[in-house]
Structures are given as C-alpha cells and as structure tokens.
Amino acid sequence: MKLTSRRPRAVLAALAAGITVTALITSPPETAVAGPSAETPTVNETFDGTALPTGWNAVEGAWKVQNGRLVGTSTASSQLSRITFGAPLTDFRIESHLRFESAVDAGRWVAFGLDLAPSGAVPWSIATLRNGSTATNGLEFAQRTPSNTWNVTDTAAAPLQVGIGKEVAVAVEVRGSRATWYVDGRESLRTTAVNRTAAGVQGLLVNGATVSFDDLKVTPLAKESFIRKSGDPLRVWAHRGASSAAPENTAASDEVARRARAEWIENDVQPTKDGVPVILHDTTVDRTTDGTGAIRSLTAAQIAALDAGSWFAPAFAGQRVPTLVQQLDGLKTRGGNLLLEVKGAHTRDSVARIVSDVRGRGMSSRVFVQSFEPQHLRWVRELAPELPLGLLRSTLDPDPVAIAKDLDLSAYNPSDAALSARPAAIAELHAAGVAVNVWTVDDATRWNALEKAGVDGIITNRPAELAGWNAAFLQRAASRLTIVSPAPGAKLDRAQQPTIAVSSNLSEPATITLDGRPIENGAAIDTTALAAGTHEIKAQIGATTAVSTFEIVGSRTGLAHLILTSGARPAAVSTMTTLLGQGQYAVLARYAASAGSTGLSAVRLQQIVAEANALR
C-alpha cells in the first residue's frame, strides 16, 4: 500500500444495499485501536500504479487499477463484488471520490465496507449509495447477516443525484456502532446500528455496476468531542429509555428508544443488597414495580422476580428490572449506546463493580458515565480513564469550567431551569472543550430555544419526537417545499400519533391533503382512523408540489394501543392485553370477534382482529 498525498479533488466513498428488515448487532471490538496515530491515515491510495495495492484482497468480482483509478465491476455471477483492505479500527473516517461508470438500473449501488472479515465472509456492515441516489433509499446503512441475508437499518435520500459519469465526494465517519454518511460534504444519514467485530477491516462493494474510485483514505479519529458541529442537529439522549412510551429503565423502553434512533440511551444504576448493579431510578422499587422496599435492602434475586411493566400498562406485564450486565448485553446484541447514571450514594467498590461489568462485557467504547456526585466521576476516571464523563447539575456551579477541568469532563449536563439562569455558560464550557447537554426537556419550543442557544444535546423522555424535530431541522434549508413528518416511507403503528409537518421557504401557506382530504399543517394524524397500508400526503404551493407516502403497519405496541383505547369493557380489555402479552394472537383475534362479549365498536373490532391475525 502506498502512503502518498491525496490529489486535490473532493472526497468520496460509496454505499448501497437494497433490501429490508431488523437489526443484529454485536459489540465494537475492544481489541481494536484508534490507530497508530489518530488523524494520520492508515490507508491513503491514489492508485497511480498498475496493480492492486499491497494487502488488498479482491474477494469477488473484477477489480483492477486503470488510468489512475481503482475500477470495480460486478458480474452476473458476482453481484456482491467486494475487495477488502485496511486494519481493525474502532473510530475512523473512510472517504473517496467515486463515479458510476455504468449500472444495470437506478437501484444498483456501491458501498463502503465499514466492518468486513479480511476474507470477505459474512457478516458485514456497509454504507451504500445508489446510482439513483435521490430515491428514498438512495443512501443506506445495512448489514449482511451471518445467515447471508440483508438487514437494512437506515435509509435516506442523498442531497444530490449521482447518476452515470458524475464524480462525487463521499465519506462515512464511524464511532463504535454509530456512523454518519456525508455526500458532497453534507451530512445525509446517521445510524446507531453498525455491526462490529473484533477483526473487521474496511472494504468496497459494487452491485450491478462498474464503479471507479480515487483518493481513497481511511483515517483513525481522535477522541470524540461531544460538542455539536455547526449545522448538526441536537444529540438525542433517551431519558430512562423512551420513558414516555414504555416503562422506564427496562428492555422495552430501550427498544423503543433504539427504534427512535436515539444515539444514546440513558439508564440509572444502583447496587442491590448483595452488590449487583441493577437498572432502576428510585431508591425504592415501590413506584415502578409490584414490589416494595429499598433497592439496597433487596437481593438481586428478589428484584429479578418483580414485575416492572404492569404499572405502566398491562401490555408491558412481565418486564423485569434488568441488571447492568443484562442491559449491556441487550445493547450489545440489539444496538445502542449507554449513558449510564451512577445514581445515589456509592462506595468506591460499588463503582469498581460497575466499571468491571462495562469492561467485562466489552462495552467501554459504547458507555458514557454521568453522575450528580463528583467523587463518583473521580473514581470512574481513576478506574477507567477511557470512559467519557458528564456531571449532572440541578443548579450551575459558580465556575462550571473549573469543575469541568478538575473532573476532566466530556460534558456538563445541567437542568433546563439551571441553564436558563445563565446561558452564557454554554460558550464558556465550549471554549474549554466541554459539551452541554440539558435535562429533561420534552417540549419542542424549548428544543428550538436550546438549539439556538448552542447546547449540544437534549436528555428527553420523547426521543422519537426529538429525532423527528431534528429531521425537520436538517431539512429547513433544503427544498422549497418538503414534507418533513411523517418521514417519507415511514412505517407507523397505531400507537404513534405523528404530526403533519410541511416545511417551505415560500411565503404562501401550503395546501395539504392526506389521501385526498384536506388537513392542516401541524395537525396530528389519528393512526387508529386509517386503514392498514400505504397513505399519501400531498403539499402544494402554486405550481410547486411535494408528495410523500407512509405506511400503517401492525405491531405489538400498536395492537396494545388499539386495545387500551378501544372503549371496550374493562374485563375485555384485561383479557385482550393478557393474551397479547402471552403472544396468543389467534386466541386474541377469536376473543375480540366473539359476539357481544367485548363491547368493541365494529371498526375497532375489525382493526384488532386484523392486527392480531397479522402478528400470528
């Protein structure tokens, strides 16, 4: 491999995939390193020779160096053409200039391999770019699973049309399981679901096309700054998971936050009587479980037997209080990063147990520790200097910068009320390299004010709503007329109540219809009043028109919402939620349809039966 200077062109890298589905995520490699020198490229190729660079492995398809470019072609027998190179890295940027020379159709793609075995064997994680890049899935983050199937985790339209013969600068920045797609220098898509392995390297993939590359670089990234870059959206920290939609600090609330694309999931950790760290906020189990007593007077086994979901809604019956290890394993296998609050009083030994669990599960690169207690953070710094730290505050310190420097903080996290008393502290902390994340803010008016004030992130009970607000933030300066919410191609269940949001740079208001019927900008969509399937939103200002579609789909959460808001007899609601919790969908459908037994309206009965049958 040559280490030469890069040519003065833009920067590139490519990506694509073309299927669907869920998420299978393993932990980022604890053994991978940031690189021999952060910000010094480990790969820097201008392809000035005539042969493939040393150490590059052409796994499948036709790969050659020609006219100062690397050219990759997929053939009829090699649709997933790929070449691997580089070394295992936890945090890095991969970039290149890329050009589609030919493509079978607009759906064909090129991809950066973000984590591939050197042999090219599955599983992989990739970032893809389609020839038809402005399609709703023009950009993707995707995985090829161990069973050799596709799992597409995130999609978006690129900010420009690529097409044949147009060179474009592309890049992806990867930090652990998080990644950000850049096209022509513009952030275009984020994910929290990159599948990482201990020995994974980088690569390029081509599907149904011939693509050429130049000026390809892989650069290890320095320690992450949590200060928001100009033009970036607010960082989403999901408070106790998505605690407005599911029982806090449980696997269920984590899953909702994960699906909302929260970058970080906040959980509280405290020790049991026998010293096991468990995920719970209060000093007692009384409010959020069916038990009573102080956490520290109960053993881990006693707490594990408690129901931590029924208090929130019958559909969540059986949710448990996770141990820290269980919570870490859930994030490790299903994706996500943990903002871990060391809650209440701890000894050095109890903090050491927390650190040991984090390191023992291989999750150091995906955990951020915060606490109200400076001593807890000092112990964490002493025991695990690699973990970023945040100090929680109900009132501002007389000198926030001084305490931030003393504790070596990555973030200073005040309450909204505290920060409102002295917003100038934001600039002071930023000048010292310290981010500011505000808790716990659930109101869009305050999000807007805090974004303008320069804060970096919001700790919120409503991560899905903040993620949607961020999408609107990113699109404000884009198109003259844009349907922001529901997001194009969104799949919504009955529990979601999205708001119509149309953004425009024009002075006139837009005329908006939902399935041909007028609807106001800002109006809530009642998903329980819509049929399952695809629905169309159309916005028009004069001759300018924007059209977007979304889909109503069945889910356990949606079915629970239909039952709980059905107006059926209480006994019927109890029976149906019990059957739902047990996964007895066929029995639930038959029960709901039984004549006169439930008190359901005809429309709601039909919806519940249809969704229960769809989940079978």
- Count of helix runs (H) and strand runs (E) in the chain: 14, 31
Structure confidence by residue, pLDDT tens digits, 523-562:
999 998 898 899 999 999 887 788 889 999 888 888 999 9
Q: Each residue of 133-155: b (16+ CB within 10 Å) or e?
A: bebebbbbbbbbbeeeeebbbbb
pLDDT beyond 70 at 568:
yes
CA distances in angstroms from 413 to 337, 382, 410, 594, listed in the order given: 17, 21, 10, 54
CB 214 within 8 A of CB 97: yes
Cα distance between residue 614 and residue 589, in whole Å: 10
DSSP string, 273-306: TTS-EEE-SSSBSTTTSS--SBGGGS-HHHHHTS
38 token code pair: 């952060």
pLDDT beyond 60 at 95:
yes
pLDDT beyond 90 at 482:
no
Q: Each residue of 13-37: b (16+ CB within 10 Å) or e?
A: bbbbbbeeeebbbbbbbeebebbee
CB 437 within 8 A of CB 218: no
What sign does the CA torsion over 256, 259, 261, 265 have?
positive
pLDDT beyond 90 at 414:
yes
What SS3 state is found at 358? helix
CA distances in angstroms from 423 to 335, 416, 417, 445, 451, listed in the order given: 34, 10, 10, 16, 12
Q: Where is pLDDT greater, at 47 or 21?
A: 47
CB 239 within 8 A of CB 461: yes
Cα distance between residue 155 and residue 182, in whole Å: 13
Cα distance between residue 354 and residue 346, in whole Å: 10
Identify the residue whose tokens are 């597409």. Answer: 152
- The pTM (predicted TM-score) of the whole model is 0.65
What's the one-letter identity of residue 557?
Answer: T
- Is 376 one of the annotated active-site residues of the chain? no
Structure confidence by residue, pLDDT tens digits, 380-407:
999 999 999 999 999 999 999 999 999 9
Cα distance between residue 70 and residue 423, in whole Å: 51
What's the pLDDT score for residue 595?
58
List 281, 346, 376, 535, catalytic entry: 281
Q: Does the N-terminal peptide bond of residue 498 adopt cis geometry, omega within 30 degrees of 0?
A: no
Average pLDDT taken over every residue of the chain:
89
Structure confidence by residue, pLDDT tens digits, 192-220:
889 888 899 999 999 999 999 999 999 99
The stretch 123-144 carries a mean pLDDT of 95
Instruction: Give the bridge partners for 128, in sequence order.
Output: 111, 140
Contacts of 114 (CB under 8 A, 6+ apart): 94, 124, 125, 126, 127, 172, 174, 179, 194, 200, 202
- Is 239 one of the annotated active-site residues of the chain? yes
DSSP string, 434-457: -EEEEB----HHHHHHHHHHT--E
CA distances in angstroms from 294 to 234, 277, 310, listed in the order given: 36, 14, 19
- Cα-Cα-Cα-Cα torsion 127, 132, 133, 137, nearest 10 degrees, comes to -60
288 token code pair: 């959020």
Residue 297, Cβ neighbours under 10 Å: how many?
A: 11
DSSP symbol at 27: P
Going by C-alpha positions, the residue among 395, 404, 336 that lies closest to residue 370 is: 404
Cα distance between residue 108 and residue 227, in whole Å: 37
Secondary structure element (H or E) that encloses residue 511, with its range: strand 511-514
Q: Largest Cα–Cα distance in the chain? A: 79
List 239, 376, 535, 561, catalytic entry: 239
Instruction: Give the bridge partners for 438, in sequence order.
Output: 458
Burial class of residue 459 (count of CB atoms within 10 Å of its CB; 0-12, 13-18, 19+):
buried
Structure confidence by residue, pLDDT tens digits, 305-356:
999 999 999 999 999 999 999 999 998 888 789 999 999 999 999 999 999 9
Task: Pick the range with the lowest mean pLDDT from 16-30, 58-72, 437-451.
Answer: 16-30
304 token code pair: 């594990």
What sign does the CA torsion over 16, 18, 21, 26 have?
negative
What's the one-letter identity of residue 128?
Answer: T
Identify the residue whose tokens are 């920060």. Answer: 419
pLDDT beyond 80 at 1:
no
Residues found in the chain:
616
DSSP symbol at 162: -
577 token code pair: 């939620």
Structure confidence by residue, pLDDT tens digits, 488-508:
888 888 888 888 988 876 667
Secondary structure element (H or E) that encloses residue 471, with its range: helix 463-475
Secondary structure element (H or E) that encloses residue 516, with its range: none
Identify the residue whose tokens are 């997001």. Answer: 487
Secondary structure element (H or E) that encloses residue 233, with its range: none
What's the pLDDT score for residue 594?
82
